[in-house]
């Protein structure tokens, strides 16, 4: 990595559908991927909340049309994606962060990237008072046997998409209808549940940004967009 810290533009995209968020990150990832050398790629960190949605990763064959219909009847959307990992839930009260980075400006390794994401989330949780947050052999960040943050990423030509879902004040009942990330016998938790008070996405965003800049050794700059129209970002 260069001695000059990479610059990452923070986009606060607000709350919108998963489809809108997916289109946004795909556009940002591809907008200059081929046209410019890695050193000139514009990195982004998109912060958002999604409307209720269940998403599955590359192993989509594990989930039938009947599974999809059952979950849609709960009032949530359902999407099959190109990220790693199995099924999870995103919805209001969950901080979803999509780093769109060219790893050529950092360390060109997906394994390094996932490990660094884990360290970043653990440090952010510790800043917020969750001392027991840790990474384990199972994907995500855990507090005991309960997952507080899901991680699922995709990399193409060293450009990353997808990212993390940190439960802040999420309605955890949505997770009762699935086996989160395909891990049997484990539960889910949130910052609010662990800290015994309402903990907002806005509060968590501040800690996550501090941790992201430190752990990824980068500079952050803000870009604000109208939440109702994420297509204007770029």
154 is in an annotated binding site: no
71 is in an annotated binding site: no
84 is in an annotated binding site: yes
132 is in an annotated binding site: no
91 is in an annotated binding site: no
Question: How far apart are alpha carbons 95 and 208 in whole angstroms?
Answer: 10
16 is in an annotated binding site: no
Catalytic-residue membership of 168: no
104 is in an annotated binding site: no
151 is in an annotated binding site: yes
Among 202, 100, 106, 188, smallest CA distance to 140 is for 188
Determine the distance from the C-alpha atom of residue 2 to the mean position of all C-alpha atoms in its chain, rounded to a whole number: 26
155 is in an annotated binding site: no
Identified catalytic residue from 125, 149, 168, 181? 181
Query: In 28-170, at which residue ranges do the beta strands (DSSP E only) sit?
Result: 43-50, 53-56, 77-80, 88-90, 94-100, 133-135, 141-143, 146-156, 159-167
Annotated binding-site residues for substrate read: 83-90, 150-152, 163-165
Annotated binding-site residues read: 83-90, 150-152, 163-165
Catalytic residues: 181
């Amino acid at each position: 990595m260069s001695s000059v810290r990479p610059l990452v533009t923070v986009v606060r995209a607000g709350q919108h559908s998963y489809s809108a968020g997916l289109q946004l990150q795909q556009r940002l990832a591809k907008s200059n991927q081929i046209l410019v050398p890695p050193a000139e790629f514009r990195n982004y960190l998109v912060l958002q909340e999604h409307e209720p949605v269940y998403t599955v990763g590359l192993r989509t064959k594990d989930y039938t049309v009947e599974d999809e219909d059952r979950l849609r009847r709960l009032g949530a959307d359902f999407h099959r994606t190109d990220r790693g990992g199995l099924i999870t839930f995103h919805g209001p009260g969950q901080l979803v962060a999509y780093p769109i980075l060219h790893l050529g400006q950092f360390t060109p390794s997906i394994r390094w990237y996932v490990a660094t994401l884990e360290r970043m989330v653990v440090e952010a949780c510790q800043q917020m008072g969750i001392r027991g947050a840790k990474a384990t052999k199972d994907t995500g960040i855990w507090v005991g046997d309960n997952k507080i943050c899901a991680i699922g990423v995709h990399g193409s030509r060293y450009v990353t998409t997808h990212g993390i879902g940190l439960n802040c004040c999420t309605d955890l009942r949505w997770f009762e209808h699935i086996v989160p990330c395909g891990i049997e016998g484990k539960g889910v938790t949130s910052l609010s549940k662990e800290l015994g008070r309402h903990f907002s996405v806005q509060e968590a965003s501040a800690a996550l940004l501090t941790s992201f800049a430190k752990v990824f050794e980068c500079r952050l700059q803000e870009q604000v967009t109208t939440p109702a129209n994420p297509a204007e970002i770029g």
